[in-house]
Amino acid sequence: MTRKRRRLWLLLLCGLGLGSATALTLTAFQDNLVFFRSPSDIAQAAPTPDRAFRLGGLVEAGSVARETAADGRPAARFRVTDGAHAVSVTYTGVLPDLFREGQGVVTLGKLGPDGVFRASEVLARHDETYMPPEVADALKRSGHWNPAEGAAPPAASWNTLEPERSRPRNGS
């Protein structure tokens, strides 16, 4: 085999590898990109019921109702707000340790045709002073930084809003 033909082979293989990687990435992107939506975004244009997305905001004070689902599993019903608008959320499963009223939360799920968000995952971080950056951003955009009547998160913890005041505190 000549050097030229070998080079051709290598180029062909590299093209194949790169091509398949690109094709796979693009197809996977098409179905699996998860967008972030705030309650105001949903009020403007509701996403289709078949597409999963992440909904974030503050847990509205006084909206959390813990119940038991038909199959005996624990469930919860609460409202996520960014001040301007709020969305009702249902979730079956154990809520995270730091799920509190008035605190930032990010949920993953689909919006039902009835306008109720069915969450399959509820994310709240292991740190009480943590504010998900998407939530902080959504609150900033809606112009209401503290819509909940409950205890507002201390300003120092809004790390994306006031970077110079937020001190790093946790570890590796």
Contact positions toward other proteins, by CB under 8 A? 1, 3, 6, 9-10, 13-14, 16-18, 20-21, 24-25, 27-29, 31-36, 54, 66, 68, 72-74, 93-95, 97-98, 108, 126-128, 130, 132-134, 137, 159-160, 163, 166-172
Paired sense of beta strands 65-68 and 74-81, if any: antiparallel
Which lies closer to other proteins via its Cβ, residue 8 or residue 46? 8
> Which H or E element spans position 81?
strand 74-81
Q: How far is CA 30 from CA 4, 25, 26, 51, in A?
A: 39, 9, 6, 11
Which lies closer to other proteins via its Cβ, residue 86 or residue 106? 106
Which lies closer to other proteins via its Cβ, residue 21 or residue 155? 21
Q: How far is the CB of 83 from other proteins (least distance, A)?
A: 18
CA distance 1 to 119: 59
The answer to whether the annotation marks 85 as part of a ligand binding site is: no
Which lies closer to other proteins via its Cβ, residue 114 or residue 164? 164
DSSP letter at 46 equals P
The answer to whether the annotation marks 130 as part of a ligand binding site is: yes
Q: How far is the CB of 35 from other proteins (least distance, A)?
A: 6
- CA nearest neighbour of 152 among 81, 76, 65: 81
Q: How far is the CB of 108 from other proteins (least distance, A)?
A: 8
CA distance 115 to 42: 9
Positive or negative, the CA dihedral 91, 66, 75, 115 is: negative
Annotated binding site for heme: 126, 130
Annotated binding site: 126, 130
